[in-house]
Amino acid sequence: MATETESSYQLLCIGNPLLDMQTSDGSLLDKYNLKANDAILASPEQMGIYEDISNAPDLKFVAGGAAQNAARGAAYVLPPKHVVYVGCVGDDDLADKLREANAREGVESAYLVKKGEQTGACGVVITGHHRSLVTTLRAAEMFDKSHFSSTDVAACIKGAKYFYIGGFFLTHGVESALELCKTASGDGKAIAMNLSAPFIPQFFKVQLETIFPYTDFIIGNESEAESWGGAAGLSDPKDHAAVARAIALLPKSNLTRPRVVIITRGADSTVVVSSANPDTPQIHPIQKLSDDEIVDTNGAGDAFAGGFMGGLVLGKSIEEAVEIGHKMGAMNLRQVGPQYTWPKIQIIA
């Protein structure tokens, strides 16, 4: 990573780098007690799924990890050398595959490498339009905040204007995320966080609440919003606008900009609520794809988040950034796994 290009990285993303192992063998759902559409951390009883998927005849390896998917989505709509991704990997061939994917798609990999450890993996079971994600973090959960002080990463943090934190990272890295947020927020920079999965608000509510005060943008889908609404004791967690309003109005450390909450709802619409106008939710319609056009839903939410963040970096309005996110999500739905169309197509007019 050349020091003279540090200032060009406008967006820094942090999360759990994972290599997705994907199959359409639906029998694994029953075998490992999985829901068809969910995202969980693997229990000891579910660790055998990785060997089963590796032996599946339709096995596909895809660069994954939610925040890393979003980073690649943002890079798709941004000029070169604008996105850098931070996380922890092992010193193995899985990490090499991730570096290659990032480099190919314009993301700078600023990994902390743990010698002798394995890079994290995500088992993905695709059934119809559903995807079940089962993650083993391995090296990803060994991230150390001292990595922020390394010469290259410190320069990236100093140069970035936008920061994106994957909610999955908070299962182990809340202290690191808090340090990054305090630094970025103290410098008046914009911080976005994704709720990532229903189990994050349900079981890691305290960790979320530690980071919430520093956030300017919160992104989640309807299931994650409902999970947070239930955990927060809201009267109707399925009222997505009300959930977004409640999150938008949570205490905030940097009062120079409002907090904007974005809740995607699949093919229905996207709800946006700003703390500047909390009682006026904005509903953004979506151009629905036909069933025949949808190949795989894995990564669509990350694609939306990446497109949205890319739009912000380009100086687009919230409305324009949401539309860019919609286009990137639709592109992802037409691919196998969290991938994007190559050669690139024009997303932003």
Q: Is 95 helix (H, G, I), strand (E, B) or coil?
A: helix
Residue 126 near residue 23, CB atoms below 8 Å: yes
CA distance to 46, 89, 144, 258, 261, per residue, from 275 (Å): 41, 37, 33, 5, 8
Alpha-carbon span 137 to 332, nearest angstrom: 24
Contacts of 18 (CB under 8 A, 6+ apart): 64, 65, 68, 119, 120, 121, 122, 135, 137, 140
Active-site residue (options: 20, 52, 296, 302): 302
Known catalytic residue: 302? yes
280-288: long-range contacts, CB 8 A cutoff, minimum separation 24 = 281/241, 281/244, 281/245, 282/318, 282/319, 284/319, 284/322, 284/323, 284/326, 286/326, 287/326, 287/330
Collapse the DSSP code of 343 into the 3-class scheme (helix H, G, I; strand E, B; otherwise coil) and give the result.
Answer: coil
**Residue positions annotated with a catalytic role:** 302
